[in-house]
Structure 1
Amino acid sequence: MHGGNVFETDALRLLVTVADTGSFTQAAARLDYTQSAVSRRIASLEKRAGGPLFDRLARGVRLNPAGHALHRHAVEVLDRLARAEHELTAIRAGHGGTLRVAAFSTANISLVPAALRAFLRSRPDVEVVASEGRSDALMRRLAEGALDLAVVSDYPSGLPSADGVTTEALLEDELFVVLPREHRLAGSGTIDLRELRDEAWLQDAPADRPMMLTEVCARAGFRPRKIVRIAEWTGKFGYVAAGLGVALVPSLAAWAVPAGLSLCRLDDLAPRRTVYAALPAAPLPAALELRDLLHEAAG
């Protein structure tokens, strides 16, 4: 086989059309070529293929064994290209394809699932790939093209930035405090943060990360007496239930607080954070639709 042009799309399409019609003349009419152009192109293809692909008959042409072999591959290649074109068109129109979504942990408790449920009802043909991570890492993944949409927040050290990534505020997330049911302040409704100055606090941030907890306590005029580092919410709730500490809980996570614990609002010193939808510079239509549903779920 000579040269690397045997598998050009136009040449393969011409081969298939001539084989289907059995005639250079009919193939020319179907493809809007002249008969001489078809003859020249088939001759060029046969030269590159290393020999004849058709038997020339008194009336028309038919594939020879080499032609049958190339025809089989040509049909497969053209079919795959057609399906690729169809899939890309569907993705750009917001139908089909894959949508890669990620969020920080508490956004995955109720906000993101509610939006995804509505999205999949209207777009069941879209495959959603969901994941979880910290906001700074999610912004980097968006910039690298590894995500189509992310839900991020400005906690603990401000909203991360990334080249080509845009953000839209979804909601302001107030932080509550969760207490054991038998705690003296359980069921109080709103609590003065200073009344918790003697408590042990459950906190997930590693030692090298800033903590909203220490900043908020400082504004209230005290330092946390003790910080117990527990990362997962299930572990935090277990420690609270055992009376081993109290924890700040975002309003996004309020739905997941076990019934045996007491969730209380804090006074004017209550810490808050803003939650954002983050998108790449050229978002998919499906990502824009999910963004709109996130706004609805946040509202």
Structure 2
Amino acid sequence: MRIQVRDRELGKYFRTMLEDRLPDDELHWVDPDTPAPLTGAEVFIGPRFTAADAGTADRLRLVQVAGAGLDAIDLSALPPGAACANLYRHEHSIAEYALAATVLLRRDLLVQDRGLRDGRWLTPSRSPGMQHGRDLRSARVGFIGFGHIGRTCWNLFRAAGVAAGAAVSLSGASGRPLDGLEWWDDLDRLDDLCAASDVIILSLPAEQGTLDLIGAAQLEALGPDGILVNVGRGPVVSQDALYEALSSGAIKGAAIDVWYHYPAGSEVVAPADHDFGALPNVLMTPHVSGATRETHLARLDDIVENIERLRTGRPLLNLVTG
């Protein structure tokens, strides 16, 4: 089977592993910055698929997205008979990130780290402006989005002993078990969730109906002790409202892993219009919450499994369309 791989991470770190596990297939590795035609390829692996790609595909059977997001996948351009599947396996890594970020921000560890590097001991006993940190036992965690990521985050937070949890999602619980949550509803109760929570874990995709979903009113409801952890998509949160809330102290802090601007390659690109990096109460990371080695190895398993399923005519994992 002829397979074109156009993914930076796979090519740099996992090329030999994938070739060893598909010894009878013809793998063509393509630089993501200089896409090649898909002529003859039955499988395409990568994070981006366009109408231009589809125009060169004459035998394509599977677009295997190299991650969970479909932002850069033009599903309308899929050739007749071609399927599209994506990958998960990042939920545990993201849950670890969300838990760690919450601890860092609730206990002011970012501020204290930066202060001590300058010789300033920012503790309640030595610095009048500092308050005691809060551990997880008093945290009420709200989940905006409760799919793979939200549920795994909740399991980890629950094991860590948080006080309570609740969730809103696009479809609500729809009869599914609450798994220890106090309640789970649709987005009509978004404001209720923000008002009832100390920590918000946001994992929604950016799509019609979720853009700027979190604005000034929701952040004000979260309150001055509130923490926002965004591992979904940047534009779900109004960046103007978020910057203002963080600058003014309307919320305590935020961990932002997903952004408003991204580089095409390795160039230097500011992730937002506002200078979030100048704020002491923000943990900024470059969309890496799920990008651990364990995530990539598990995804490699699923890529190989889907290719074998395609070869033998069995149902594909994580089928998006087809």
> Could you say which structure has the greater relative contact order, defined with CA pairs below 8 angstroms and 6 or more residues apart?
1
Choose between structure 1 and 2: higher helix proportion: 1
Larger fraction in strand: 1
